[in-house]
């Protein structure tokens, strides 16, 4: 086997490893891993450039998918960077959630976060959440900032559970998720964050968490938690994971 083939195999294995541990690590560790992967890819591609230059086109077919893998792994960071620069290019920044729903979510999150009102807003995706919807209080109303903000006011009966949203509709409120059993979750995280991680481990749901202690906004998806995110990051999460 040629040396360049060994390098290509190693690059693929590293990409697969990074993807596999995505749901098993904290967000900070996963970001460090992705940074390592980016640096490794750049170094190896530079080293392999001269060797590949004289190879048949088939060799380029071997390497080309690596570029796509790299983009997929860091597409959220790329979209965030482009968003900061005011650049909207192609599929990386396409809006995949209805604008009125997105605006209602952002408005409600900003309202609750500013007042340090705890909240748990879960979005059903491909995996059904019927097991958690059935025992909850039915709402079946269009998503609105006013409705979401009112539900989580501490004096209301439903404030202590989670809201489940499907499409442009608030399906239910006051539902509870089994908390994660992972031992690496920081002890300072409360029941809301643990429940959000738990439902993201059991399903493909995305959950927005607002801390009542700090007002910080976090997102749980695919088994990991992204803490204290900015409004821009929240927009990217909504657009990336919530398909029409």
Residue 223 maps to a domain: yes
Same domain, 104 and 220: yes
Helix (H, G, I), strand (E, B) or coil at 93: helix
Whether the pLDDT of residue 140 is over 90: the answer is: yes
Annotate 165-178 with DSSP letters as a single string. EETTEEEEEEE--P
Residues 55, 115 within the same domain: no
pLDDT score of 24 = 42
| Residue 40: inside a domain | yes
Residues 140 and 205 in one domain: yes
Q: Give the pLDDT confidence of 9-37 residue by residue, as tens digits.
A: 666 666 665 555 544 444 444 555 555 66
Assess whether 156 and 192 both reside in one domain: yes
Same domain, residue pair 68 and 152: no
* 154 and 211 part of one domain: yes
Whether 83 maps to a domain, the answer reads no
What CATH number is attached to the domain comprising 193? 3.40.1700.10
Whole-number Å distance between alpha carbons of 113 and 127: 28
Domain boundary among 19, 39, 73: 73
CA 20, 25, 31, 35 dihedral sign is negative
Please check whether residue 80 lies inside any domain of the structure: no
In-domain check, residue 100: yes
Q: What pLDDT, in 10s, does the model give residues 155-210? A: 888 888 999 999 889 999 999 999 998 888 888 888 999 999 999 998 989 999 99
Do residues 165 and 111 both lie within one domain? Answer: yes
The total number of structural domains that make up the chain: 2
128 & 225 share domain = yes
> pTM for the complete prediction?
0.63
Query: Does residue 148 contact residue 170 with C-beta atoms inside 8 Å?
Result: yes
Core vs surface per residue 167-185: b (16+ CB within 10 A) or e: eeebbbbbbebebbeeeeb
- pLDDT at position 182: 83
Q: What's the pLDDT score for residue 31?
A: 52
Q: Answer yes or no: do 20 and 117 share one domain.
A: no
- Residues 104 and 179 occupy one common structural domain: yes
The mean-pLDDT minimum among 4-13, 59-68, 179-188 falls in 59-68
Q: Is residue 120 part of a domain?
A: yes
Are 186 and 114 members of one domain?
yes
What was the pLDDT predicted at 74?
A: 59
In a domain, 221, yes or no: yes
How far apart CA 203 and CA 198 sit, in angstroms, is 9
Position 137 in a domain: yes
65 and 126 in a common domain: no
**Domain residue limits at 39:** 3-73
The contacts found for 177-185 with CB under 8 angstroms, 24 or more apart, are 177/122, 177/132, 177/202, 178/202, 184/26, 185/225
């Amino acid at each position: 086997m040629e040396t360049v083939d060994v390098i290509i195999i190693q690059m693929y294995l590293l990409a697969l490893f990074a993807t596999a541990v995505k749901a098993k690590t904290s967000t900070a560790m996963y970001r460090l891993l992705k940074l390592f992967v980016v640096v490794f890819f750049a170094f190896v591609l530079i080293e392999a450039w001269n060797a590949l230059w004289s190879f048949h086109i088939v060799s380029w077919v071997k390497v080309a998918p690596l570029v796509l893998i790299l983009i997929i792994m860091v597409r959220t960071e790329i979209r965030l960077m482009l968003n900061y620069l005011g650049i909207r290019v192609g599929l990386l920044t396409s809006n995949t959630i209805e604008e009125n729903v997105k605006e209602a979510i952002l408005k409600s999150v900003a309202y609750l976060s500013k007042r340090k009102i705890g909240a748990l807003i879960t979005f059903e995706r491909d995996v059904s959440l019927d097991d958690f919807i059935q025992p909850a209080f039915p709402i079946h109303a269009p998503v609105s900032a006013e409705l979401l903000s009112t539900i989580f006011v501490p004096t209301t009966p439903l404030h202590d559970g989670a809201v489940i949203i499907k499409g442009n509709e608030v399906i239910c409120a006051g539902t509870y998720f089994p908390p994660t059993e992972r031992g690496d979750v920081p002890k300072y995280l409360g029941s809301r964050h643990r429940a959000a991680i738990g439902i993201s481990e059991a399903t493909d749901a995305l959950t927005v968490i607002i801390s009542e202690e700090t007002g910080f906004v976090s997102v749980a998806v695919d088994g990991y938690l992204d803490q204290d995110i900015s409004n821009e990051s929240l927009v990217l999460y909504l657009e990336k994971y919530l398909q029409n």
